[in-house]
Amino acid sequence: MKVRFPLILCLLMGIIGMVAYYIPHRIVQNFDNELRNTALRIIFAFSLVLGVGSIIRHHWEKIKRKREFWEYSYVTLISLFLTAFIGLFGGIDGKGLIKMQIGKFSFDIHTIYVNMAIPLGATMFSLLAYFMASAAYRAFRARNFEAILLLIAAFIVMLASVPPVARLIPKLPYISEWILDVPNTAAKRGMLFGITLGVLSTSLKILLGIERGWLGGK
C-alpha cells in the first residue's frame, strides 16, 4: 500500500491535469481551477517546509561529521534563520511585530535585499565575464572545420553586438540575425523536438508507474 497508493494518486492527478485541456465542460474546468488555485498552493506550501527541513538537515549533518567546507554550513544556517526571523517579525520595511530599527537604520528584508542579495548576485554573475574571457583565449581554437565554422559564427554575432562595427558594416547585424534565425533555429528546433519527446515518454512512464525514481526507486 505504501507504494501502490502514491502510484494511484500520481496517475489520477496526471489524468485530471490532462483532461482539463481536452474537455471544456464547466464542471471539469471548475474542478481544474479549484485544484490549481487551492490544492496546488497548499502542496507548494508543504514543499517549502520540506525544502527548509532538508536544507537544515543537510547542513547540520555536514557540521556534525565535519565534512569538507563544513564551516560554510554555519553561514548558510545562520543566514537562513536570521533572514526568516527578520522576515517573520520585522516585515518588509522593519515595521512588523518587532521594531527592527536602530535610529534611522532599518534592519529589514528590504535592507538585506538591497545590501546583500543584489551585490552578491551581481558579483556571482559578473565573474562569468572573467571565465568567458579566459576560456575564449584558451579553448576557442580553429582545430578543425566545425571549429572554424563555430569561430566565424561567434565572430559575426559578437561583432554585430558592437554598435560602431555594426554602423561601419551595415550588413553585419543582418547576417548575425540570419545566423540566429535560420541555422540556429533549425538546430534548436530539432533539439526541442527531441527533448519534448523525451519529456512526454518520461511523463508517461511516471504516470504508469514504470519509472519509480521519485518513490526512491521502489
Partner 1 sequence: MVSRRIIYLILTLVILIPLLRPFKLKPLPMKPVENLFYYINNMPKDKALLISVDYSPDTEAELHPMTIALLKHAFYKRIKVGVLTLTLLGLGLAEDALRTVVKEFNERAKTREDSIIYGRDYVFLGWQTPPLVPLLGMGESITKVFPVDYYGNRTDTLPLLQQIKNYRDVGIVVSISGSAIPMWYVTYAQTTFGVKVGAGFTAVSAADYYPYLNSGQLTGLLAGMRGGAEYEELVEKHFGKTKRRKATEAMSSQTTAHIMIIILIIIGNIIYFKQRRRK
Of 5, 22, 44, 69, which one interacts with partner 1 (CB under 8 A)? 44
Choose one: 3-11, 66-74, 78-86, 111-119; the region binding partner 1 (CB under 8 A). Answer: 111-119
141 binds partner 1 (CB under 8 A): yes
- Does residue 121 touch partner 1 according to CB under 8 A? yes
The full DSSP string for 49-60 is HHHHHHHHHHHH
Does 175 interact with partner 1 (rule: CB under 8 A)?
A: no
Angle at 149 (CA atoms; ends 132, 195), nearest 5 degrees: 75
Closest CA to 73 of 87, 90, 91, 61: 61
Is 192 a binder of partner 1 (CB under 8 A)?
yes
Choice from 54, 79, 115, 161 touching partner 1 (CB under 8 A): 161
Report, in Å, the least distance between residue 67 CB and partner 1: 27
Span of 51-59, 65-73, 125-133, 199-207 interacting with partner 1 by CB under 8 A: 125-133
- What is the rounded distance in angstroms from the CA atom of residue 96 to the CA atom of residue 86? 9
Asked if residue 184 binds partner 1 (CB under 8 A), the reply is yes
**Any idea what the Cα angle at residue 16 is, between residues 14 and 20, rounded to 5°?**
120
Question: According to the binding rule CB under 8 A, does residue 155 interact with partner 1?
Answer: yes
Minimal distance, residue 94 CB to partner 1, in Å: 15
**117 touching partner 1, by CB under 8 A:** yes
Handedness of CA 12, 15, 20, 22 (dihedral sign): negative
How many chain residues touch partner 1 (CB under 8 A)?
51
Q: Which is nearer to partner 1, 188 or 218 (CB)?
A: 188
Rule CB under 8 A: say whether 57 interacts with partner 1: no
- In the complex, the residues that contact partner 1 under the rule CB under 8 A are 21, 33, 36-37, 40-41, 44, 110, 113-114, 117-122, 124-126, 129-130, 132-134, 136-138, 140-142, 151, 154-155, 158-159, 161-164, 166-167, 170, 173, 177, 180-181, 184-185, 188-189, 192
